[in-house]
Amino acid sequence: MRIVLGLLLFVGVLAAQTPPAEELKQEARERVEAKAKLAQEITDMLFSLAELGYQEHETAKYLTGILRYEGFRITMGVSGMPSAWVAEWGEGKPVIGLMADVDGLPETSQMPGVARREELVPGGPGHGEGHNAGQAVQTTTALAVKEMLERHGLPGTIRVYPGIAEELLGSRTYMARDGLFKELDAMLSCHVSSRFLTSWGNRELALVSTEYTFEGVSAHGAGSPWKGKSALDAVELMNAGWNFRREHLRPQQRSHYVITNGGNQPNVVPSEASVWYFFRETDYANVKRNHDIGTKIAEAAAMMTDTTMTERIIGSTWPGHFNRPLAELLHRNMGAVGMPKWSDDDQRMAKAIQKLMGAEPIGLRTEIEELKGPTLTAMGSDDIAEVSWNVPTVNMRYPANVAGAVGHHWSSGIAMATPIAHKGVVTAAKVQAMTLIELYTSPERIEEAWAYFREQTKDVQWKSLIPEGTAPPAHLNADKMERFAPQLEKLRYDPERYETYLEQLGVDYPGVD
């Protein structure tokens, strides 16, 4: 009863002091629109930094610099990851999080705005998935809503989090384990797409990412092979064992591996060899079982070869489960904002990319998609899922890229520092800001989200798939970034001198023949 009275009082106070909801949402849109230049600069800057997972140091410095200047309190290096951070502004409840991935992908360096393969840094990293746009959305949203909380004297706390090393499905299981999402009332995540959509219910697959390393004894491959114990033999036997076993696993499973170390040269018996596995299944229990089978096969391979085996877990995630009331709220606001207004040049750019990639020349999408319910047809994994089992979470896929560009590929980078990305980012930030202000001013929306969440977690309690004490593999990609840093530094976007990154690179948009 006291809670109900308190709630009524809270709503009453809000009603007395703040403008009606529709007016607030309109204000949120306008404040985002006024920050369109900042949104473009962040999008272009992150594109130019092109940092790989766990090495997003310049990206972190740049983003936290903007947020700190605006009065956000910054905690750097959270959960044992030097490039991870949390930014917080405001006081009291509700506490709402904004999160988006920030990492790039190897070998996807690409000149933006041209419909041809042209690397900026030969062999270098790039934003071949478009993760440069996500924090442009969230930072713009955070700053617009912060202004509104200030102006209207509303209580509430905004938290901004980066998705570190999403391409390695690395970071969020560590952040969740360390309780970084504990005080949140809701989390709004977003991810770049060619579509405009959101969904609720179970999505995608659980995953364990782990590396098995075998240690043997080196010897001359011809002179005295009987003295050697081949670690590579163990890797090959493990893979053979796993490939036979696959047939007797549930058809829902997906698994794949790469040999990350296969020795040095044929005439030296490899004393060390490693293989990196992804085990995927539809839920915690099944992915855990397949991981256990994999480890048993690795132990057996070590036994067969008289080598020793060690395992290094790299990351893991549950399958996602997104919150229905939050998804419905978000979807209503998507409908109110509508799709970006694409220009003829944007459409020409999109069609040229589609032609280049042999995809259907449909241009840029112009329709918002229906709200989607649970599905098991999406066979990937995304570690935002870890958050979705700890706090009511929703993920918006916003239209800032081109259909037909291949995922995790340079073609997905072409549009990501062009007006297509810039317009998509502003559209997404408007929806986020409207949703956020609605959550800050309507406690019943948060209560609905929690009612659903309690139902979701009634019989299923999240626990991390990584063993206790596992440290994040923050060393990954350090060698690659070190190699490319000097070239990337020269290509860094300079917003003081150039309006856009395209202007800095001398690209005449759209670069189509």
State the residues that interact with Zn ion by CB under 5 A: 101, 129, 166
Distance CA 130, CA 103 (A): 9
CA dist 121 → 64, 285, 411 (Å)? 26, 43, 15
| In the complex, minimum distance from the CB of residue 432 to Zn ion, in angstroms, rounded to a whole number | 17
Helical (H) or strand (E) element with 302: helix 284-305
| In the complex, minimum distance from the CB of residue 371 to Zn ion, in angstroms, rounded to a whole number | 21
Q: What is the DSSP string of 443-500?
A: HHHHHHHHHHHHHHTSS-----SSPTTPPP-TTTTHHHHHHHHHHHHHT---TTT-SS
Q: What are the structure tokens assigned to 135, written together?
A: 């924090």
Residue 192 vs 273, nearer CB to Zn ion = 192
| In the complex, minimum distance from the CB of residue 98 to Zn ion, in angstroms, rounded to a whole number | 16
Residue 412 vs 456, nearer CB to Zn ion = 412
Distance CA 260, CA 61 (A): 31
| In the complex, minimum distance from the CB of residue 384 to Zn ion, in angstroms, rounded to a whole number | 9
The label of the residue with tokens 């350090």 reads: 478
Contact 112, 502 (CB under 8 A): yes
| In the complex, minimum distance from the CB of residue 162 to Zn ion, in angstroms, rounded to a whole number | 12
Residue 27 vs 101, nearer CB to Zn ion = 101
Residue 396 vs 512, nearer CB to Zn ion = 396
Compute φ and ψ for 11, nearest 5 degrees.
-65, -40
| In the complex, minimum distance from the CB of residue 398 to Zn ion, in angstroms, rounded to a whole number | 12
Handedness of CA 281, 282, 283, 289 (dihedral sign): negative
Residue 128 vs 270, nearer CB to Zn ion = 128
Distance CA 394, CA 134 (A): 14
| In the complex, minimum distance from the CB of residue 175 to Zn ion, in angstroms, rounded to a whole number | 16
Cross-strand pairs, 160: 87, 98
| In the complex, minimum distance from the CB of residue 185 to Zn ion, in angstroms, rounded to a whole number | 25
Question: Half-sphere exposure of 181 toward its Cβ, with a 13 Å CA cutoff?
Answer: 27
- Amino acid in the structure at residue 286: N
Residue 425 vs 502, nearer CB to Zn ion = 425
Residue 233 vs 383, nearer CB to Zn ion = 383
Handedness of CA 195, 198, 200, 206 (dihedral sign): positive
Residue 101 vs 211, nearer CB to Zn ion = 101
